[in-house]
């Protein structure tokens, strides 16, 4: 296989070797069910307990506030549908944002078919929501506000603390999809005033298929959710089914590593990202999508005006060329029959064409200066070729 320059870390990340090492015994020697009462089971139970503490510590939560799920999509479904079911006697209005992940948007659309009313707040051209617009959208019957922490396509960071405060002033609960924030930047559910939060292991060096939902159990808002998955009453009755012990152990280890190494990695990655971006912006007719001051350090979403992102991506992964294969994303949702422009970018006011001209570079802790130098050089060459063909 050709070497790969992997710049798609917001889609998923590789498993950290230390994470793999931590989970391995639970796939092999100790494969026990964490609910079994024999010694093997007790060992597995203890490993889950340790991991739950590691996950809770990363976000400033208590262990009884963590529900393990298969990832963020499941956590979001559990949270939003659960709130809708349990709090509908208070009201049937939910507020979210047009640039959310489809896990949130599609869950809200589903609830609209069940009699709930959803306000989809627009964003400003820089990707941030307008707090006055949020204030105006809040009503006495609003039960939940769900706003993502960091956008997966642009890296734009919403003012979560202010949003949570306005939400609570209106008597509603605040949920955040923090999948792209947790593990990469400090997130504290108490300092931010978060009632529900989802996170996913594979976005920060744990395997796919393991994540969690934080459900506040302390004052001021003790959140009560119904079970979505019925069975043996695992995870405090919220999510039954035999625990994914190896995944949970891996997830815990990834959280522990993130606490220790987040700051160092942030500095290193930001330097690489800034250098990549500065070079790409030297190309004619390019601009950055999203607010550059309120943006996570690992993402650069760039519009190469007039250049088809699909052609650029093809050029970057051309098996005939002697360059390494480069994995980037155009952040658009492809279905088998049609390619839609990114709903995030069009919500920010980009035209469909500009959206199809945009590419997301999302860096990770393993990227090197050499890899980015090659990327910059190849992009410049491919764009020259594409322009010459026009």
Ligand X SMILES: *Cc1c(COP(=O)(O)O)cnc(C)c1O
Q: Residues with catalytic annotation?
A: 334
What is the 3-state secondary structure of 301-312? EEEECCCCHHHH
Instruction: Choose between 197 and 372: whose C-beta lies nearer to ligand X.
Output: 197
CA distances from 377 to 187, 257, 279, 373 (A): 36, 33, 9, 6
User: Of 292, 290, 296, 293, which is closest to residue 262 (Cα–Cα)?
Assistant: 296
Query: Least CB distance from residue 59 to ligand X, whole Å?
Result: 15
Binding site for ligand X (CB under 6 A): 71-73, 101, 103, 148, 152, 177, 179-180, 200, 203, 211
Query: Least CB distance from residue 137 to ligand X, whole Å?
Result: 21
Instruction: Choose between 44 and 83: whose C-beta lies nearer to ligand X.
Output: 83
d(CA 280, CA 262): 26
Query: Least CB distance from residue 18 to ligand X, whole Å?
Result: 21
What does DSSP assign to residue 251?
Answer: H
Query: Least CB distance from residue 286 to ligand X, whole Å?
Result: 24
Instruction: Choose between 315 and 331: whose C-beta lies nearer to ligand X.
Output: 331
224: tokens are 């009560």
**Sign, Cα dihedral of 309, 311, 315, 318:** positive
3-state secondary structure of 49: helix
Instruction: Choose between 203 and 323: whose C-beta lies nearer to ligand X.
Output: 203
Backbone dihedral region for residue 113 (phi beyond 0: left; psi -120 to 50: alpha; all else: beta): alpha
Instruction: Choose between 101 and 253: whose C-beta lies nearer to ligand X.
Output: 101
Contact 22, 249 (CB under 8 A): yes
Query: Measured at the alpha carbon of residue 221, what is the angle toward residues 219 and 223, in degrees to the nearest 5?
Result: 120
Query: Least CB distance from residue 382 to ligand X, whole Å?
Result: 27
Nearest-CB residue to ligand X?
71
């Amino acid at each position: 296989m050709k070497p790969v320059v992997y710049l798609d870390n917001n889609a998923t990340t590789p498993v950290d070797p230390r994470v793999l090492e931590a989970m391995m015994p639970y796939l092999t020697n100790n494969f026990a069910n964490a609910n079994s009462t024999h010694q093997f089971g007790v060992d597995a139970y203890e490993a889950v307990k340790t991991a739950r503490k590691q996950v809770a510590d990363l976000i400033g939560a208590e262990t009884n506030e963590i529900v393990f799920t298969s990832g963020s999509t499941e956590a979001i479904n559990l949270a939003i549908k659960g709130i809708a079911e349990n709090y509908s006697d208070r009201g049937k209005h939910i507020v979210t944002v047009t640039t959310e992940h489809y896990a949130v948007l599609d869950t809200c659309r589903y609830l609209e078919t069940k009699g709930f009313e959803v306000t989809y707040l627009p964003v400003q051209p820089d990707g941030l929501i307008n707090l006055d617009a949020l204030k105006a959208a809040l009503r006495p019957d609003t039960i939940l506000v769900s706003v993502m922490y960091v956008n997966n396509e642009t890296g734009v960071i919403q003012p979560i603390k202010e949003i949570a405060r306005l939400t609570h002033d209106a008597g509603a609960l605040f949920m955040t999809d923090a999948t792209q924030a947790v593990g990469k930047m400090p997130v504290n559910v108490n300092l931010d005033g978060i009632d529900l939060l989802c996170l996913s292991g594979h976005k920060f060096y744990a395997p796919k298929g393991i994540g969690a939902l934080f459900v506040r159990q302390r004052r001021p808002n003790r959140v009560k959710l119904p079970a979505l998955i019925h069975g043996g009453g695992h995870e405090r009755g919220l999510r039954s089914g035999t625990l994914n012990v190896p995944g949970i152990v891996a997830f815990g280890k990834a959280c522990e590593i993130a606490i220790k190494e987040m700051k160092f990695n942030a500095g290193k990655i930001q330097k690489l990202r800034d250098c990549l971006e500065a070079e790409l912006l030297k190309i004619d007719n390019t601009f950055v999508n999203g607010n550059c001051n309120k943006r996570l350090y690992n993402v650069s979403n760039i519009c190469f005006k007039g250049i088809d992102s699909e052609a650029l991506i093809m050029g970057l992964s051309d098996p005939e060329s002697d360059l390494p294969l480069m994995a980037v994303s155009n952040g658009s949702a492809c279905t088998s029959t049609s390619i839609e422009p990114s709903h995030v970018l069009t919500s920010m006011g980009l035209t469909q064409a500009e959206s199809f001209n945009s590419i997301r570079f999302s860096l990770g802790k393993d990227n090197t200066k050499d890899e980015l130098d090659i990327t910059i050089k190849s992009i410049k060459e491919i764009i020259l070729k594409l322009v010459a063909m026009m």
